[in-house]
């Protein structure tokens, strides 16, 4: 089993739609959680950290469920510019390693 698993997609959604991605992780000692965005042939960039209480940044909402060991990303009012691959990243306490999921590809259609 992979340490971090994501549905690869692609998710094809119309502009203005709401879309949600889930990511599961296997290491219960995981302590830090992030969503990164990666555009084609570019480096990953932080979209948002994920906090235990959940957090929101504009149209983006991240949630953490420790009991079920998954994190989620909700994108409201999708824009064409949201088209990208979204990477789930997990880091265990006491380690220096960031573990990446394979990413979920989103295409927002006009």
Chain residues that interact with other proteins, rule: CB under 8 A: 8, 31-32, 34, 36, 41-46, 49, 87, 89, 91, 93, 96-103
By C-alpha distance, which of 19, 26, 36 is closest to 3?
26
**How many Å apart are CA 56 and CA 62, to the nearest integer?**
6
Beta carbon of residue 78, minimum distance to other proteins (angstroms, whole number): 23
Task: Provide the 3-class DSSP secondary structure of residue 63.
Answer: strand
Beta carbon of residue 54, minimum distance to other proteins (angstroms, whole number): 18
Residue 17 or 100 with smaller CB distance to other proteins: 100
Beta carbon of residue 59, minimum distance to other proteins (angstroms, whole number): 20
Give the start-end residues of each E strand in 18-59. Answer: 19-25, 30-38, 45-50, 55-57
Residue 1 or 41 with smaller CB distance to other proteins: 41
Q: Are 50 and 33 in contact (CB under 8 A)?
A: yes
Residue 82 or 86 with smaller CB distance to other proteins: 86
H-helix or E-strand spanning residue 7 = none
Q: Are 110 and 80 in contact (CB under 8 A)?
A: yes
Residue 2 or 59 with smaller CB distance to other proteins: 2
Beta carbon of residue 105, minimum distance to other proteins (angstroms, whole number): 11
């Amino acid at each position: 089993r992979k340490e971090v698993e994501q549905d690869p997609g692609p998710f094809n959604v119309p502009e203005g739609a709401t879309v949600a991605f889930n990511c599961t992780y296997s290491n219960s000692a995981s302590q830090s959680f992030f969503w990164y965005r990666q555009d084609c042939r570019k480096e990953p960039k932080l979209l948002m950290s994920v906090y235990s209480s959940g957090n929101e940044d504009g149209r983006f909402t991240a949630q953490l469920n420790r009991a079920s060991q998954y994190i989620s990303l909700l994108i409201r009012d999708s824009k064409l510019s949201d088209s990208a691959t979204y990477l789930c990243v997990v880091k265990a306490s006491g380690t220096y390693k960031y573990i990446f999921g394979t990413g979920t590809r989103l295409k927002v259609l006009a």
